[in-house]
Amino acid sequence: MSLPETLLLRQPALSAEHLAFVYAGDLWLADHRGQNVRRLTATPGYKQTPHFSPDGQVVAFSGNDDGAASVYAVPVEGGMPRRLTYHPGDDLVRGWTPTGEVLFASARHTISARVRRLYTLSLEGGHPAALPMPMAERGAFSQDGRLAYTPFAEPFWSWKRYRGGMTVPIRLLDLDTLDETEVPHKNATDTFPCWLEGKVYFLSDRRGVVNVWQHEPGTGDVRQLTFHDDFDVRSLTAGAGRLAYEQGGRVHLLTPGEAPEPLQITVSADLPNLRPRRVKAAPHVTSFGLSPSVISGRPKGRAPGQRIRPVRTATGS
């Protein structure tokens, strides 16, 4: 039986051999064509932000199986994910260092859970080492050790075309000299920085819809690479000489200088939440009405950006 294309694939990442992505709260692996899909994790918690180690043999990710989101690592061959951090707040994987340490963001040493710093951590465990920036939300290392990072979190995705004090810049830091420059920035949000062959790639809503952009540090040049006009690009990573991003529920691969390649991926997943089942109505009822023969109830629902109010029937109707 032929299965349809699977959508709602999130947060893709690339190694030389594999494509990783998030679907239905778990991690999945495929080849670069989106074929030969297999599940990498199968535990109840939600997994997010997969990133391949420099040698492509380990996937680091954040998962909440044990409470708050913690850093885990799992071999690409599969097996039991190994927990690396034990902090009561969220630890969110952002990538790897060139020397094979996990890079993650955490609010463990900040004044507020809304403010994070970047840390590195060995696969062998131990105490995380903080990078020198007092605030950092996302980050990525170049092969020569430079760091591209955002100092704070981007606005909520539902804040379309936001302009104001929370628009995010991208900064480039030399960790040896602590010299810092900034990607030329307008009143727009720039986020998800990553490096490929000495250039910085990132997401920006400078022209409305979020698309992929490129920055050349040597010249200061900034230019747009993709031109999606329907759905925002939602995540971006680099690996194996290409970029991988999420847009419109699909995974796209992009080689700079070429057109984006949307992948048609089919995931054969057992999704128990989609099975027909009996649900106890009582916990979901928010209002009711009486008649001589019928009791009616209406559960509370939601729509994007607003609450659905309970239906009220006029007296006598």
Dist CA 22 CA 24 (whole Å):
7
Amino acid at 293: S
Residue 227 placed within a domain = yes
| CA atoms of 121 and 132, how far apart (whole Å) | 15
Contacts of residue 110, Cβ cutoff 8 Å, sequence gap at least 6: 116, 117, 135
Q: Containing domain of residue 132, as a range?
A: 10-262
Q: Is residue 204 part of a domain?
A: yes
59 burial (CB, 10 Å; 0-12 / 13-18 / 19+) is: buried
Query: What digits encode the pLDDT tens for the residues 251-292?
Result: 999 999 999 999 999 998 777 767 788 888 888 777 766 677
CATH of the domain at 168: 2.120.10.60
Contacts of 144 (CB under 8 A, 6+ apart): 98
CA gap 54, 77 in Å, rounded: 16
Residue 142 lies in a domain: yes
* pLDDT, tens digit, 9 for 90 and up, residues 127-162: 999 999 999 999 999 999 999 999 999 888 888 899
Q: Is residue 62 part of a domain?
A: yes
How many angstroms separate the first and last alpha carbons of the chain? 50
**Number of domains observed in the structure of the chain:** 1
Task: Look at residue 26 and tell me if it is in a domain.
Answer: yes
| Structure-token pair, residue 315 | 């007296």
Please provide residue 27's backbone torsions phi and psi, each rounded to the nearest 5 degrees. Answer: -95, 140
Does any domain span residue 218? yes
Which pLDDT does position 316 carry in this prediction? 55
Residue 268 falls within a domain, yes or no?
Answer: no
Q: What is the pLDDT of residues 286-317, one digit of tens each?
A: 776 667 776 565 555 555 555 555 555 555 54
Helix-strand-coil split of the chain, %, nearest 5: 0, 40, 60
CA dist., res. 19 & res. 264, Å (int): 13
Q: Which helix (H) or strand (E) is 172 found in, with range?
A: strand 171-173
Give domain status of residue 275, yes or no. no
